[in-house]
Structure 1
Amino acid sequence: MTPANQLPANQPPAIEVSDVVVRYGEVVALDGVSLSVASGRVTGLVGMNGSGKSTLFKAIMGTVRPDTGTVLIDGTAPVAARKQGLVGYVPQSEDVDWAFPVSVRDVVMMGRYGRQGLTRRARHVDHAAVAEALERVELTGYADRQIGQLSGGQRKRAFVARGIAQDARILLLDEPFAGVDKRSEATIVRLLRELADDGRTVLVSTHDLHALPRLADEAVLLLHRVLFHGGVAEALRPDNLAHAFGLDVLDRDLDRGSDRDRDRDFDREGSA
């Protein structure tokens, strides 16, 4: 088996980030980040708030230009990859205007815009793709509801459906489990595993360490730079998590407590 942080010699990375530095004024958000992610894998991106996760997503999407370094998506520059519909994005809830008067179906149809030309006129194939995506995320019965009327988990599933309808080869999800119910969490995990099995690449930013083992093939620990990239079990070792969450010394209670208690403590630290 190929190690989680190594790619087969004959397979180019789906996402390749090389020595990327991003600054906001005097603040260094990313400091020499290098990362390669293969196709057909789910990668969990773990780090506390302010560690650079959202900035890394923006660099991969091409909405933030690195001060130095390069990003390639399937060998293509991010802006070009986005225009080709190669990359789909599921944002954090606070980044969306839930009062905007669009239906769930409209949100999912947005994933088809890049295939509709300048007229943005939906064809039979577009409607079929939207219907299939809604069925996969179990939202067919909610298609005509205004997007803000959905629960938190349903909203996340709607944006996953948009990426499915888009037929994006790479999906970026920013905190998809924040504020979602258990059913939606299980549905999203199942969908992402299915998409990876279909050969798509999934990069998930998350504080939910409980979901990580059943979700991800590998994990990246980020604190302005990549501290670790490899297997999930090793990423979740207390010493590795301590470095990722900026702790110099582990609380002794973590070693004595259960795995669930340990993960909950780190979730709380990451949400601070």
Structure 2
Amino acid sequence: MADTAKNSLLAPSSATTSSAGPAETASSPVAEPPRSPPAARRFLQSNVDTSGPLGVWQLCFFFCFLTGFTSAPTFLACYLWAGFQTGGLVQLGLAVGRLFATSDRTFHKPDQQALTSLLSFLLGTSLGRIGDRVGAKKRWWAMSATFISALLTMAAALCAHFSRETSVAEFRTEASWRSPQGMAALGFASASLGLQGIVAKRLNPASGTSLVLTTVWVELANDPLLFARKAVKSRDHRALAVFAAFLGGMCSAGIVFASSSAVAFGVCTGLRVIAVFVWLFMPAEKPKK
């Protein structure tokens, strides 16, 4: 009788357990497989392949062309190359050397412009650290960096326009862009080329930057297949880069002489916007096996 009572006490609990088991099993969450990111996100997160024909045109033609196109107005206005900072650095060295050789203690306007261009270039190229963190070859970063360069060029166009200064300086001692707006135009143009240079360098280290073409000239002249009567990738790409920079400077100078440096920077802004969309058609880099 004691055993019967004991069993009767245990029965409800066991029934409750048995009835609760399926309910708990039914209410327990089912592990779902991880969802893949949307196709658009995967596309933007992919690495671009700049080794193909479209990549060569984007880096050699668009970027080198824009190097000449952006540098021409700055040289015509104040005899400084926005993308080639060797001359600006040497000019600053001459300014310091003048302190020891003469009694002139003035920090002349051309020296101020050289310092402005150099510092702006360094600030612009330092934005490339973002690409190093998120992925220098990511499609979205290449598009974003090119768009930022376009914004900087547009700012240079606005500053050059509102400075109301001449676009072509007749003498080196009478350089233009002496006002704060003119100095800002020089700074924005230099910053845009600084960012462009590091982006091109990270995307295709073999081609070098799109700015310092002196190295391209040296490697082109010493190419062992320089006079080969066939397609040579190293020689042809360097020759294309040199020609693109020359063509960019020539076209930009024509616009400056016909109109103004502000218009030239405006056209450059439009070309950079086109370059942003070209990245959408760049093939993705194939995964390494």
TM-score by length of 2: 0.25
The structure with the larger Rg is 2
Q: Which has the higher strand share?
A: 1
Greater length-normalized contact order (CA 8 Å, ≥ 6 residues apart): 2
Which is richer in helix? 2
